[in-house]
Structures are given as C-alpha cells and as structure tokens.
Amino acid sequence: MNIPMTFTTSSFRGALSRRGVLAGAALAATMAMTGLAHAQATIDQPAPAFSATTADGKTVTLDSYKGKTVVLEWTNHDCPFVRKHYGSGNIPALQKEAMAQGVVWLQVISSAPGQQGHVDGATATRLNKDRGAVPTQVLLDPSGQLGKAYGAQTSPHLFIVNPQGVLVYKGGIDSIATAKADDIAKADPYVKTALGELAAGKKITHASTKPYGCSIKYGS
Amino acid sequence: MNFLRSAVASLVASTTTHASNVIALGMLASLASLMSTANAAPPTDRSATDEVEVRLISASSQVAPGQTLLLALEQRIAPHWHTYWKNPGDSGQPTSIEWTLPKSATAGDILWPAPKRFDVGPITNYGYEDKVLLLTEVRLPQDLAPGSTATVNADATWLVCREECIPQQATLSLSLPVGTAAKDSTDASALSMARAALPRKASFPAAARIEGRDLLVTWPVSAVPEVKQALFMPQDWGRIQHAAKPQLDRAGEDWRLRVPVGDEPATAGKPMNGLLLLDGKAWEVSLPVTGVATAPTPTTASQNTTPAIPGLSGSPSLASSGSGEADISLWTAMGLALVGGLILNLMPCVFPVLAIKALGFLHGNASDHRRQGLAYTAGVLAAFAALGAVLLALRGAGDSVGWGFQFHSPLFVLLLAWLMFVLGLSLAGQLQIGAGFAGVGEGLASKPGLTGSFFTGVLATVVATPCTAPFMGAAMAYALAQPAVELMAVFLALGLGLALPYLALAWWPALQRRMPRPGVWMDVLKQALAFPMFAAAIWLVWVIAQQAGPMGVLVALAGMGLLALAAWIRSVSRNASSRWQWTGAGAAIASLAAVAALLPTLSAISGTDSPGATTSSGVARNAGVDHEPYSPERLAQLRAQGKPVFVNLTASWCITCLVNERVALSTDEVREAFEKQGVTYLKGDWTRQDPRITDLLKQHDRSGVPLYLFYPAGTGGAAQVLPQLLTPGIVTTALKAGPS
C-alpha cells in the first residue's frame, strides 16, 4: 500500500525527507520498548527462557535443561556477601550436593564491563577452581539482559526453576542478611531447604525471600 | 575482632623482618581498611576506614541514675559512598549496633533519619551519604552509683557501598562519669537538633489500599494542599518495587500515590510502616491496609521467552537505555497504541482511503457528518475487535502469531490485492458500485450511507495492517502477551487512534471549513488516487509471487481480469433495457464466481511449497549487500566464533522493512561498514510463517518484523536492537559502538 513505490524516485525522496521525524518517533517508540516487558520472574509462572553464552564459549538455553531442576545463582566474586558464602565453603558445598542430585547449577555474572565482578570466561572458570566451586556452567551476561529478565538485584541472588520450567524459588541464599560467615550456621538455609523440598515433591515453604548482598553491577 | 588484630600484628611481625618497610606499611594500611577494623585496643570513641569515619557521641558529659541518655553513632562517609537505612532497598544492609551497657541499662532501636533514595540502573537503595547521626536512646538504671563510671560499648556493623560494597565494623566505647544530675556535653545541641530533624509522625491520616498489582497510598488534600513530589519508603522488604517511579495524582479530596507492589505485598488488616516523603519532608506513617494483591500477571506461552531489554544502539545519544526499566502498564500500552493509530493515518496505504472519505464533508449537513464519523469509528473498532479475536483464537490454538500475521496467508494477500484493484477501478471511475462495500468510490457523487462509512472503517483497518507505525510495536508486543481483555483494550485503543482524525473532522464543521473548496479538482484527485491503489495491488501480487510462485501470480492476475470483466459487463448493461440488465448482472456474477473458483487453486499451489523454500527469493534479491539466510544454527555458530553478526528480520509484505533495506541497508556506506568490520549479514525472511524467525522475534519481545540485531564481535555480548526505522548513520554507528 505504498505510495512511494508508485511514484518512484521523487516521492521516495519525499518519504526520505520525513525520515528525520519518523526516526525520532521510532526512537521514542524503541525507548518506550526498553521499558517494556521487564517481566520479572514470577513464582509459579514459567521462568523467563534464555539463551546465554557460557564461560567456555558455548551457548546454552533454559529449554535445553527441561526435565531437570535448574538453580540460577547471580554472583560477583569480589562482593563481600559472595565471599562470605564462597570463603566459608557454603555455596560450593551446596553446589556439590545439588549436582549429586542431578540439579543443574548455573552461575550468572551480570557485572558490566569495567564494573566489579566482570570477568572473562577463563577467569570465571579459574575463580571457581580456586574456590572449589562446581557450577554446571557459568553464564556470562555482561549486557545484563539475563539479569534484568529475571529481576536479579543482588549478588548472591538465587532462583530455582523446576523440571517443568516453572520458577519455584527466588530470593536470598539464606535468612541472615550480613556479610559475616559466622551467621551462616544460624541462618535458615532457604535454598538448601527449597531444593530438598523440591526433590521430595513437597511445596516450598519460603518460595520468595529477601535477596541480600551487593547490588548487581549492571551497565547503565 | 581478636583474630583480626592478631592477624595484623603477625603481619607486622613478618613484614618488619623484610627490608621494604614502605611496602609493608602500604600493605598494612590497605589490609586494615579491608578488614575494616581500624580501632586498636583498647576501644575508643572513634574509628576510621578509608570510606567511613565513625564516632560514638553522647549528649551528656555526665550521666545520672534513671536518665534516658541520648547517644549517636556518627558516620562521616567519603564522597560517592553511602551506608544504608533500615530498609536498604533492593540490595545493601542496614547499619546495626550491638550495645554493651551498664547492668540493667537498656538501649532502644536506632532512630533512623529520613534516608535518600539512590538509583543505580534497575537497583534502588535507601541510605545516607556525607554524614549521618544514628541516634539511640539508652535508659540508665536507677541504681547507678554516683561517682562511678558508666561504660557504653557499641559494636557497630555497617555496609558501605559506592559501586562496590565493603562490610565494616568497629567497636566504640565511651566512659561517662555518673553524677546526681546529668550534664550536657558539647555535642548535646547537635544531637538534639538531629533528634528534632527525625521524621515526625504524620499529622494527617494516610491509608494504603492494594488494587491489583499496585499499592495506593492516599492522604487528604485538605491536610497537605500542595504536593509536587511524593515518595513512599516502606520499612520492610517486599512491600513495593523500589525502583518503580511512583505516580502521584489527585483523586477527589485525596492525594493518591501509586506504586507497584513487590514480592511480599502488605496484608490487609496489618498496618504498613514507613516514611512518606512529601516534597522532601519525611513523615512517619503507619498505614492501615485494605485490599489484596492479585497474582502477578500470568506469563503466557507467547511471552515465555527472554524478555530482552533491547539495548538501544545507534548513536551515543540513542544508547541511553538499560536504566530505569519499569513494566509497561496497560495504560501506557493503550496510550502508545492510540498514538500509533493516529500515525497510521499518515501511512501511504491508509491516507488515500481517508482523503477521499473526508472529501465527502464538502457536502451534506453537520449532523449527518457526525453520524458518518461515528459509523466509520464503529467500523474501525469492529475490524480491530475482529482482528483481536482472530489473534486470540490463534493464540488459543497454540499458534505463535504476530502483527502482520494475516500476510502469512497467500489467500489473504490475494484477496487484498483484488480489493485494491477493485478500489482502483472504482476510483478511476471504471466501476459503479452501489452503496455497498466500498462507499469510498461514491464519496463525491452521492451521500454515502452509514453502511458505507462503517465499511470504510473496516477497509481502513484492513489496508492499515501492513503498516507498522512507530509506537505501535511496543503496544502490540505488550498486547500479544496479555490476557484477552487487555489485548482487546490495546487493539481498540489502536483502532480509536486510527479513527480519531476522521471522527474529529466529522464532528467539528470548523475543521471541515478549513478544507479546500469543492470543484473539478476533486474528481481529478479521486482518479489520481486510483494509482496508489493499483500500485498496492501490484506490490501485493509481487508478494504473492514469493509466497506462491508463478502460478500464484497467474491466479491473482486472472482474478483481476475477471473482476475487470465483471465491472465492465455491469457498467455497459446498467443503462440498457431491463432484460439486458438482468443478463449483465448474471454475467457479472458468473465472472465473480469464476474469481471465487480461483481461490482453492491458490491454496493448492501454496500448499505444495514448504515455508523455507522461498527464503532466498524476492526479499533477498532486493538487497544490495551480500548476506546469508538466517538460521539459528548459523547464528550460534558465528557467535561461538566471536564474529560480529548483523541480523535483519524482514518480510516482503512489510513496507517499513523494504524502505529500510532500500535507504539504509543496501547503501554503499553500510555495505562498506559491513565489509570493513567483517560483519556477517544474516537475513531472515518472514514473508511466510517461519517459527525459527518467530522465535528470534519473541526473544526480543517483538511480535512482528522488522527487527534489526547487531551482535558485536566477541562471544559474550548480547544483541543490540536497532530502531525500527533505519538510516545508514544509525547502522554504521551501531557497528562502531559495539565493542570490538
């Protein structure tokens, strides 16, 4: 239905002269779209699907893990709250326990380039080796796209997706929001409990808890 | 604490044995700041790290038995760093103090001053910068002996953040002589000023109501006549989405602040505590809560993809996205749809239809015009409602659909081509249709009936479908992911936008008077406008050629021939004797029947083609740049190799796509930029339904083409989404902007 196509060049130029205006409008529209669908991950709803690049350069999708429980753990190795749980061995132990049960554990690094916690794939792998961490994969998300899709706010921030692809847990690693390793033993271990309940086919007691830690260093 | 100190001590011991004392000192300093325990034994009233200097302050230099002693933890915070309020917001940790006090003395909670709001991208925090006094009241026991010394110890723990965060702690101590009466210290006035500045209990009644997924905080206008800015800071986690921008408006006698609820909304019946900040003044509120939050909007299957935040690319001025995302609300989507609908009027496909219709206002009276306007609006809305219903039905059946989905059907394209052709004939004066389907043609000669106006509305909608107006994309993508009611609301808003200009023209004769005077030019214009219609028909035949091949073209053209025949027979026989009129009508109907008989042929033809078979046809040839057909596998392969990739998702029925290819993507400038940077150009042709392309669209929250993606070199980066209207500059800037 395109008039420019009939009146050939001259009217085509006419269309071009409007492009400034149109481009502006399109820009506004696209800007509006950036506000769109910041659909945060919602409990009992399908978890936002994704396709992400791993530390070893592969591409994985959430879909490909259908049939398995998936843990997403946002991390930043320099954040004191993350150090609390890695230095104490709490998260690595949880990872091992989860892996033994066939759970897929995905570490996600959403720090933007130049920000704290931003690492390349090799560094991410080495860091995990040094810390005795054994995630199934490390997902590199320097654009923050994955983080924003899930509404990840802190490091650590944890999400659990059940084998049917439904989000069943989001929140903190445990209940005491401090950076002191001493508090781990006193805390209610939300993620550990949730994984246990999920494996036992029970309803998860605390499906949505307060995440705590450093803010995720998204690019602005 | 002790182990830290001994660690530092042992480090001193070990480093002093080495020659380089300077380095050792430097290490020690940084270590001390890392460990954040700068206070050496015995504890004093102050301590400092690189980021925060803390001091324990008493309002009394001498205390008395039974006194309520005012103490403060003062934090002097280095520029750009901040500590946190009791509700730190989306991340962070509030400062905490553990008191060790004389026997039987009790300390109250920290009396928190009003915090500041910090927004860093999608994360919002509440806290303090520069300097803050955290006051605590300590109740001293009656049996404190005058002449003795009261010692208060504060174990303070805080998190200080800039971009990075450092947990710190200090043990501070004050020894205060006990007398019979308390004496003010030199800090007394500062502390009492700080106390006076604490948020007061609100002097007005305020309440909270939960509506759907929103929290509404209300307070009477009579109590606070002027409010420009308002903010509600709940004391507990999960009550609201901190990062959302609250919306303030007046509802009758109340101010109303609307903010989306968080992961743990307040429960009705229990008060919700927090601060209400009105133009910077903080009021402590304990809001009675009514209403229950609805479950979060279900994510439909079609939304079950990465809700990518399109990182806007292009020139640096465009690249300001990524921060401050909030969910698009139904109202926003409807607003965008309305504006999109308005813009649709200017689209070349719609404009002729309306122009001719509007010329009708040069005749007739005002009340008739208004009825026409309403009938037209009804037609547009009915058509959009029908479109919405079809979309819902398809979605219900599990089809993945998007805007322009109709064009995936060659049958639809064929019918539209014929419609355009008939409209063209009518405009050119070759066809006298009754006041039926296309009242358009009658617009000048006779007063078209209301039915005509209604169907003009339907027609305007039909011809508008291949056009994607700016603003529509966002609204459409939103609508397609929503439940039925919301989808319909957005579609109707779009329809209303499309109908508005004509409706306005119909309503106000003043606007009509601004139109040029009637004359012969109107007939000329009418005939001239026939050609855009023919052009549209030609273009649609070209689309059919790609969808159904040469046989499809044959069917389309044969149909046009028969339609022309029917029109001719009708026109030559209408002024003949009644017998011939009947014969003519019969012959015309026979040709129309033949046209109808052609339709099954087309489905047979197009049915034999597989969707992928035409991928590299017309659209592909149209481009001047070397490219490969898009496939997810190829994209993944290129990305794994870290090569930069430009993806263009297009369709031959998409005007915007074709214009973009013509004016931006096939220019030498862009071609050279692609070559220079080794960009692989992948093109996905959605002229016919292709689930692999639909998937990629969905990943970027689009419901239709065009979609332009640029994946910069390197394996980590996600795609940048380019605007829907391209210029060579936008493309080349995007290529440059991508980190190499």
Q: What is the pLDDT of residues B111-135, one digit of tens each?
A: 999 999 988 878 899 999 999 999 9
Min Cα separation B493/chain A (Å):
16
**Which residue in this structure is represented by tokens 């009936």?**
B449
- Is the pLDDT confidence value at B232 over 90? yes
- What ipTM, to 2 d.p.? 0.72
Radius of gyration for the alpha carbons in chain A, expressed in angstroms and rounded = 22
**Contact by Cβ (8 Å): B321, A34:** yes
pLDDT (0 to 100) of residue A60: 92
Q: For B201-290, CATH number?
A: 2.60.40
With CA atoms as reference, report the closest residue to B706 among B693, B718, B715, B719: B693
Q: How far apart are CA B644 and CA B634, in angstroms?
A: 12
Nearest residue on chain A to B633, judged by CA atoms? Answer: A59
pLDDT for B699 beyond 60 = yes
**Residue B740 binned pLDDT confidence (cut-offs 50, 70, 90):** very low
- A92 in B contact zone (CB under 8 Å): no
Question: What pLDDT sits at residue B36?
Answer: 43
Query: What pLDDT, on a 0 to 100 scale, did the predictor assign at position A166?
Result: 92
User: Which tens digit of pLDDT belongs to each residue from B326-352?
Assistant: 346 788 888 888 888 888 777 666 776
Among residues B119, B133, B170, the alpha carbon closest in space to that of B58 is found at B133
Secondary structure class of B279 (helix, strand, coil): coil
Q: Is residue B323 less than 8 Å (CB to CB) from chain A? A: yes
Which of the four pLDDT bands, split at 50, 70 and 90, describes residue B10? very low
Higher-scoring residue by pLDDT: B343, B250:
B250
- Helices and strands per DSSP (H, E), number in chain A: 8, 9
Residue B162 has pLDDT above 70, yes or no: yes
**Residue B42 confidence (pLDDT):** 67
Cβ <8 Å between B659 and A4: yes
User: What is the reported pLDDT for B126?
Assistant: 95
* Residues 6 or more apart whose Cβ sits within 8 Å of residue A151: A38, A40, A41, B122
Most confident of A17-31, B435-449, B462-476: B462-476
Spatial neighbors of B297 by CB under 8 A, at least 6 apart, are A42, B213, B482, B483
Q: In percent, how much of chain B has pLDDT > 70? A: 76
Q: Which CATH architecture has domain B614-737?
A: 3-Layer(aba) Sandwich (3.40)
Burial B251-260 (b: 16+ CB within 10 A, else e): eeebbbbbbb
Q: Closest partner residue to B306 among A22, A145, A154, by Cβ?
A: A145
Chain B residues touching A173 at Cβ < 8 A: none
pLDDT at B466: 60
Confidence band of B95 (pLDDT split at 50, 70, 90): very high
Better-scored residue on pLDDT, B651 or B710 = B710
Task: Determine contact: B122 vs chain A, CB below 8 A.
Answer: yes
Residue B239: its pLDDT value, please? Answer: 92
Proportion of chain B above pLDDT 90, given as a percent = 26
Query: Does the pLDDT value for residue B174 go beyond 60?
Result: yes
In whole angstroms, what is the distance from residue B697 CA to residue B691 CA? 10
What is the C-alpha to C-alpha distance for residues A107 and A79, in angstroms, rounded to an integer?
14
pLDDT for the residue B510: 75
pLDDT digit string (tens) for B554-591?
A: 888 988 888 888 888 877 776 667 777 777 778 878 87
Does B254 touch chain A if contact means CB atoms closer than 8 Å?
no
Across the range A44-49, mean pLDDT stands at: 89
Please give the Cα distance from B349 to B337 (Å, whole number). 18
Residue A49 at interface with chain B, using a CB cutoff of 8 Å: yes
Residue with the larger pLDDT of the pair B646 and B713 = B646
Q: Which of B433, B427, B416, B418 is nearest to B567 (CA)?
A: B433
Contact B328 A78 (CB under 8 A): no
Provide mean pLDDT across the span B268-289: 91
Q: Is the pLDDT of residue B208 over 50?
A: yes
Mean pLDDT of B207-228: 90
* A2–B contact, CB cutoff 8 A: yes
Contact B309 A120 (CB under 8 A): no
- Count of CA atoms in the C-beta half-sphere (13 A) of B197: 15
Q: Which two tokens mark B287? A: 């809001």
Q: What is the mean pLDDT of residues B257-266?
A: 90
The tens digit of pLDDT for each residue in A164-182 reads 999 999 999 999 999 889 9
- What is the pLDDT, as a whole number, of residue B303? 32
Q: A111-158: per-residue pLDDT in tens?
A: 999 889 999 999 999 999 999 999 999 999 999 999 999 999 999 999
CATH placement of domain B42-198 = 2.60.40.1250
Query: How far off is chain B from A39, nearest CA to CA, in Å?
Result: 6
CA B397, CA B380: separation in Å to the nearest integer?
26
- Cβ–Cβ contacts within 10 Å for residue B219, how many? 23
Let me know how many helices (H) and strands (E) chain B has, helices first. 20, 28
Task: Give the pLDDT score at B328.
Answer: 63
Per-residue pLDDT, B409? 73
Give domain limits for chain B: 1-35, 42-198, 201-290, 330-531, 614-737
- Is the pLDDT confidence value at B433 over 70? no
Domains of chain A as residue ranges with CATH: 3-34 (no CATH), 51-215 (3.40.30.10)
Q: Which among B72, B83, B4, B73 has a CA at the least distance from the CA of B38?
A: B4
B340 to chain A: which residues are within 8 Å by CB? 29
Give Cα B365 to chain centroid, integer Å. 44
Q: Of A59, A215, A220, which to mutate for an interface test with B (greatest number of B Cβ within 10 Å)?
A: A215
How confident is residue B436, by pLDDT bands cut at 50, 70 and 90?
very low
Q: How far is B180 from chain A (nearest CA, A)?
A: 41
What is the rounded CA–CA span in Å between residue B477 and residue B494? 13
**With bands split at pLDDT 50, 70 and 90, how would you rate the model's confidence at B402?**
low
pLDDT band at residue B3 under the 50/70/90 scheme: very low
What confidence score (pLDDT) does residue B150 get?
A: 94
Give residue B144's pLDDT.
92
pLDDT tens-digit map of A11-34: 222 333 333 333 333 333 333 333
Residue A71 scores a pLDDT above 90: yes
- Residue with more model confidence, A138 or B451: A138
Q: Which of residues 464-493 of B touch A (CB under 8 A)?
A: 466-467, 470-474, 477-478, 481
The chain-wide mean pLDDT, for chain B, equals 77
- The 3-state secondary structure of B535-551 reads HHHHHHHHHHHHHHHHH
pLDDT, position B41: 58
Tokens of B581: 């009129």
**The pLDDT value given to residue A23:** 36
The yes-or-no verdict on residue B714 having pLDDT over 80 is no
B220: DSSP letter: E
What is the pLDDT at residue A32? 32
Please state at what angle helix B530-573 crosses helix B578-608, rounded to 10 degrees: 140
B550 token code pair: 């040469």
State yes or no: pLDDT of B596 exceeds 70: yes
In angstroms, the first-to-last Cα distance of chain B is: 47
Q: What are the angstrom distances between the C-alpha of B607 and each of B113, B600, B610, B653?
A: 72, 10, 7, 19
Name chain B contacts of A25, Cβ cutoff 8 Å: 343, 470-471, 725
In this chain, the answer to whether the domains covering B42-198 and B201-290 adopt an identical fold is yes
CA distance B645 to B683: 10
For B420, nearest residue in chain A (alpha carbons): A1
User: Residue A89: what pLDDT?
Assistant: 94
* Bridge partners for B94 per DSSP: B84
- At B439 the pLDDT is 39
Q: Answer with the residue of higher pLDDT: B125 or B312.
A: B125
